[in-house]
Chains A and B, each alone.
Chain A
Amino acid sequence: MPIFRRTGLDALNLDNVLSLGLDSGTAMIDLARVSFVDAYALTGLACFIASAAQDGLPVDLVLPEEPNVRSWLSRMHLGDVIDAFEVRVEGTLSRVPEHDRRDTLIELERFQDAHGSDRLAAFIWDRLEGGADAEVVNQLFEATGELGLNVVEHAGSPAGGFVAAQRYKAGTPEERIVVAVGDAGIGIRESLRTRYGDMTDGDAIRRAIQWNVSSITDEGRGQGLPGVVDGVKGLGGIVWIRSGAAARTVTRGQAQTSGVSRLQGTIVGARLPCRPGR
């Protein structure tokens, strides 16, 4: 559904700006009326672009009308993805001066292998250490490491994976961090199919967040994603998992699966309060 009034773009409404014209042979991202893009949605845009490119579909991108949102996208290095995948852009995404915002931004980064995943987890630690409660920084390190490793080991994504993060409302009681890791790979359902048989995307997500469930037959496996979900929930955060045509939102007291437009690959994001004990 197109956006007619200005609205923020996040895990819950990413579909609103994406369209895949298989008949016309193009993929479209329309950010014209977007007033805000969070780190999860930014990672989702990168995955959508990579996925379309894998399918040989040219991608057309309409940039936001709001100059501040265009600046933010540029500052978060969306331009690198645009260049890498030869996205056709309506409007200009000019380079912006990069003032030091290491304590609040982790720009969109692409990684290809375990070394890249290790580097990103360490990057998260270095950027956030001291800027949030120790347990939050530790949880974000674990989440980035585990989710990055899932991309490398299970996703089968030729384009690799993407990660982005941002801290919001710094210095206020509502201070929080959103981090997301995504890929344009085979998705959770296909990853689990060989070992567990056919199932829906929603069932695959539900199964993947259970302990000891893994596509690899090894009794110690299946600790990563459920550990991320448990850890984030335990700190009062929220986890979004999207794979194929399903999305699941998990909080401490609630879990809900919904149908979404099919998106190749998997995106997992988390939002955590920076100081959950206060």
Chain B
Amino acid sequence: MSTLIAPKLVSSRHQARELTASLAGDLSDTVVMVDCSALQASTPSFVDELVKAVLVDRRGGRLVMKGAPERTVELARRAASNRGVADRLETG
């Protein structure tokens, strides 16, 4: 499992790419856990880029958003649904 820690505030797609830059190029057998316990607010674009970077570009086995605010969870579900990867997103 790979773990990323989300900061307090995240907004641009660039921030999502920076956050995921250290991940391997192929994550097909990997669970990526994003620790969102410090996160207070996010934008739709940041969350979409995070979902894209992990589940689409790197074909992640699973993306777990742990401790995310309700709004971020809503955005993550929408982004995953838009990109057809909702079955590999876990929120909670």
Q: Mark A residues whose CB is within 8 Å of B.
A: 114-115, 117-118, 121-122, 125, 137-138, 141-142, 144-146, 148-149, 152-153, 212, 218-221, 223-224, 227
- Is the beta-carbon distance between A114 and B12 smaller than 8 angstroms? yes
| Nearest B residue to A228, CB-CB | B44
Q: Which residues of B contact A221 (CB under 8 A)?
A: 48
User: CB within 8 A of A125: which of B9, B13, B46?
Assistant: B9
Interface readout for B56-83 with A: 1 if CB under 8 Å, 0 if not? Answer: 0000000000000001000000110011
Q: A115-B14, A145-B46 are contacts. A223–B9 as well, Cβ < 8 Å?
A: no
Is the pair B52, A149 in contact by a Cβ cutoff of 8 Å? no
Judged by a CB distance under 8 angstroms, whether B2 is at the interface is no
B82 with A142: CB separation less than 8 A: no
Pairs of residues from A and B, 5 with the lowest C-beta to C-beta distance, nearest first? A145-B11, A114-B14, A145-B43, A121-B11, A223-B44
Q: How far is the CA of A221 from the CA of B13 in the complex (A)?
A: 11
Distance (whole angstroms) from the CB of A215 to the closest CB of chain B: 14
Question: Which of A115, A122, A146 meets B45, CB within 8 Å?
Answer: A146
Please indicate the chain B residues that have their CB under 8 angstroms from the CB of A122 in the complex. 9, 11
Contact of A118 with B41 at beta-carbon distance under 8 Å, contacts A219-B82, A220-B83 already known = no
Could you list some 6 contacts between A and B, CB below 8 A?
Answer: A117-B12, A121-B11, A142-B11, A144-B11, A146-B43, A149-B11
Q: CA–CA, A189 to B13, complex, Å?
A: 23
Q: In the complex, are the beta carbons of B45 and A219 less than 8 A apart?
A: no
Are B45 and A138 within 8 A (Cβ)? no
- Cβ-defined contact, A125 with B48, below 8 A: no
Residue among B11, B15, B71 facing the most chain A CB atoms (10 A cut-off)? B11
Partner of A141, one of B9, B51, B79, B84: B9
In the complex, chain B residues whose CB is within 8 Å of the CB of A153? 13
